[in-house]
Amino acid sequence: MADSSLKQPVAAAPKLRGATSEFQWGKWLLVAFVFGYLALILLVPALNVFIQAFKAGLPGLVDTFTSKFFLNAVKLTVIVTAITVPLNTVFGLCAAIALANKNFPGRSLLISIIDLPFSISPVVAGLMLVLLFGNRGWFGPLLDANGIKIIFALPGIVMATIFVTMPFIAREVLPALEEAGTQQEEAAATLGATPWQTFWRVTLPSIKWSLLYGLILCNARAMGEFGAVAVVSGNIVGKTQTLPLFIEEAHIQYNTQAAYTAALLLAGLAVVTLVVKYLLERRAGIQHRGH
């Protein structure tokens, strides 16, 4: 079937010979435009990260890699991600399971609500948390009295990161669950499986690729989030400075080598993310979507 539909344009080609050569000409013009545009916006900037990072050779890289503040920033970024991603995974799975096989009034509204963080500026998200937990915020006096620090501390950074990455897993898993349907789960339940067994043995295997897809996107965003974290972190060097904040600070202080070493690490993360994403799209046929 696919074969015959491929042959159709070929069969029509001789009639449109003049048009076809015009097509060829136009084709290469458009391809050249695309390469040029993407070179200016994506390729040259991406390449530049690697070139700048290796400009001073390995000693330059090692210098930054052994600096205390850099290592602290790496550590904080890893900690924040290690808390955020599992929490969002539990939420994403729960939300998708809750939404998948039910039709109730307001279902599409709820799906829009879960997607809402993608539409809100990360800076506004950070502002909301400051208004809640900052020392002049709604819960400020209460937190102060109990000696709890959320803003300018780890909990605030985690909450800001949770806010901006909340939709990633739910929106990937939900369509996969809808497609898988409930028949197998019902069969497992009839055969005496507990809900927990059904989840691990039946539900999870059917959505694993979509879950992984959501996970890597969530992970990349969690490690790279800047705007929301910038508002709540206070940017205390060595304490509440994540890698993106470290890059900004190094850049402002003209410490180009340090900035690009940190950028190299995050660009490496981006490359891994894109490769895994590409493989998942090929192997598991997951559709990419804008977000």
Partner 1 sequence: MTSSQPSSSPGVWQSILHASWPWRVTWLYLTLFLFLPIAALILKAVTLNPAEIWRIATDPVAIATYNVTFFTALIAGIINGFAGLVIAWVLVRYEFPGKRFLDAIIDLPFALPTAVAGLTLSTIYSTNGWIGGFLEPFGIKVSFTRLGVLVAMIFISLPFVVRTVQPVLQALEAEAEEAAWSMGASPWQTFWRVILPPLMPAILTGVAMGFSRAVGEYGSVVIIAGNIPFQDLIAPVLIIQRLEQFDYAGATVIGSVLLLISLAVLLVINLIQARGRRFYG
Smallest gap, in angstroms, from Cβ of residue 163 to partner 1? 6
Give the residue with the Cβ less far from partner 1, 209 or 217.
Answer: 217
Smallest gap, in angstroms, from Cβ of residue 206 to partner 1? 16
**Dihedral class, residue 205 (left if φ above 0, else alpha if ψ from -120 to 50, else beta):** alpha
**Region from 64-72, 122-130, 180-188, 207-215 binding partner 1, contact rule CB under 8 A:** 122-130
CB atoms within 10 A of CB 214: 28
Contact between 286 and partner 1 per CB under 8 A: no
| Local structure of 44: helix, strand or coil | helix
Find how far residue 64's CA is from the centre of its chain.
26
Smallest gap, in angstroms, from Cβ of residue 58 to partner 1? 21
Q: Give which of 167, 154, 160 is closest to 127, Cα–Cα.
A: 160
Residues 85-108 as b or e (16 or more Cβ within 10 Å = b): beebbebbbebbbebbeeeeeeee
Give the residue with the Cβ less far from partner 1, 111 or 184.
Answer: 111
Query: What string of DSSP letters covers 147-179?
Result: T---TTSHHHHHHHHHHHHTHHHHHHHHHHHHH
49 phi/psi in degrees, rounded to 5: -60, -45
Binds partner 1 by CB under 8 A, chosen from 227, 238, 239, 255? 227
x/- track of binding to partner 1 for residues 81-120 (CB under 8 A): ------x--xx-xxx-xx---xxxxx-----xxx-xx-xx
**Region from 37-45, 67-75, 181-189, 207-215 binding partner 1, contact rule CB under 8 A:** 37-45
Binds partner 1 by CB under 8 A, chosen from 8, 66, 146, 183? 8
Q: Which 163-222 residues touch partner 1, going by CB under 8 A?
A: 163, 166, 217, 220
Q: Which 232-271 residues touch partner 1, going by CB under 8 A?
A: 243-245, 247-248, 251, 256, 259-260, 263, 266-267, 269-271
Give the residue with the Cβ less far from partner 1, 119 or 146.
Answer: 119
CB atoms within 10 A of CB 38: 12
Binds partner 1 by CB under 8 A, chosen from 49, 56, 79, 189? 49
State the number of binding residues for partner 1 (CB under 8 A): 99
Give the residue with the Cβ less far from partner 1, 174 or 209.
Answer: 174
**Dihedral class, residue 170 (left if φ above 0, else alpha if ψ from -120 to 50, else beta):** alpha
Give the residue with the Cβ less far from partner 1, 158 or 209.
Answer: 158
225 phi/psi in degrees, rounded to 5: -60, 135
